[in-house]
Amino acid sequence: MNMRQESCNTGVMPTVIKEVFMPPEAPPTVATLIESSLVYQNSANYEMAVHSLEQARDEWRKIISPPEKKEDKKDGNPTP
């Protein structure tokens, strides 16, 4: 018997994903960080690759999320 057949999980059927998902266009600063992470990865500098991706994620989140308003702790109204 083939080794592959012995270790296969017959309960899992492969499927083809027919939908194409396109990510939104990244802001220029985020795109640069993502490109840098690919360069780091290709040069086997994996720690810097991950660090660049984390920076890109944080930058993108900062760009798309509005700044939080501070609330007055006494009455719950936002401060001017």
Helix axes 46-64, 28-42, angle to 10 degrees: 170
Q: Which tokens go with 43?
A: 């040069």
pTM for the whole thing? 0.57
Q: Is the pLDDT of residue 78 over 90?
A: no
What pLDDT does residue 74 have? 56
Please name every residue paired with 71 in a beta bridge, in sequence order, or none if there are none: 78
What confidence tens digit (pLDDT) does each residue in 47-77 have?
999 999 999 999 999 998 877 766 655 555 6
